[in-house]
Amino acid sequence: AHTDFGKHIIPGAIKTHKLSSYVFQGYWEDVGTIKAFFDANLDLTSMLPKFNFFDMDSPVFTRPRFLPASKVNGGVIENTLLSDGCIVHKARLKECMLGIRSIVGADTDMQRVVMMGADYYESLQSIAKHQEEGEPSVGIGPRTRVVNAIIDKNARIGSDCVISPDGKPNEMDSELFHVRDGIIVIPKNTVIPNGTVI
């Protein structure tokens, strides 16, 4: 599909329409690549990001989701943004962006991670069923280490996993993940079994 503004939409419109331009002095970032998307999101976790959500002159609002506040049950969290409804159990998060309903298990270590979150919470019955079958629940299980990664929505990452681009080429594809510009990408709804090393 032709969806890139600079490569497709604007050049196509120039051919068929009369266009005008406007010099925009505010924040703009092209997030058309995995690396650009990753870097733009992680920049938001810095002390003074290029784009500031907390600027009173240019406030940012999202639609109300009516989710509970995020709950953090211990751990160490540095330069990290938590969206609504997250549950973090005694984890270490450094330079991370957690989307709505993200769940992170105990003793998990995450560094430079963009986690898109989940579309739903699992019921206690569903969690128990997955545990009986040896499958992970939505979110990231306990004692898992994730470095330099984008985790798309509804991913199920088991306990005792290691997800890191170390030792991998800059670009690769597999059934469970992709690597783009040295960043691990876990696709939407992917299930990564307990103990998996990526």
Q: Write down the pLDDT at residue 91.
A: 97
Given a cut of 80, whether residue 90 has pLDDT beyond it is: yes
Q: Does 2 map to a domain?
A: no
| Mean pLDDT within 73-80 | 95
Given a cut of 70, whether residue 75 has pLDDT beyond it is: yes
Q: Does 133 map to a domain?
A: yes
Please give the tally of structural domains in the chain: 1
| Mean pLDDT within 14-24 | 85
Tens digit of pLDDT for each residue in 143-159?
999 999 999 999 999 99
The pairing of beta strand 145-151 with beta strand 81-82: unpaired
| Mean pLDDT within 80-90 | 96
For residue 120, give its domain range.
71-192
Q: Does 54 map to a domain?
A: no
Closest CA to 101 of 90, 87, 114, 112: 87
| 78, 83, 102 from 120: Cα distances, Å | 26, 14, 10
Q: Does 181 map to a domain?
A: yes
Q: Does 162 map to a domain?
A: yes
| Mean pLDDT within 61-83 | 90
Tens digit of pLDDT for each residue in 160-196?
999 999 999 999 999 999 999 999 999 999 999 999 9
Q: pTM for the whole thing?
A: 0.86
| Mean pLDDT within 66-83 | 94
Percentage above 90 pLDDT, the chain: 69
Given a cut of 70, whether residue 129 has pLDDT beyond it is: yes
Q: Does 6 map to a domain?
A: no
Q: Does 49 map to a domain?
A: no
In this prediction, residue 1 has a pLDDT band, given cuts at 50, 70 and 90, of: low
Given a cut of 70, whether residue 117 has pLDDT beyond it is: yes
Q: What is the CATH number for 105? A: 2.160.10.10
Q: Does 41 map to a domain?
A: no
Percentage above 70 pLDDT, the chain: 98
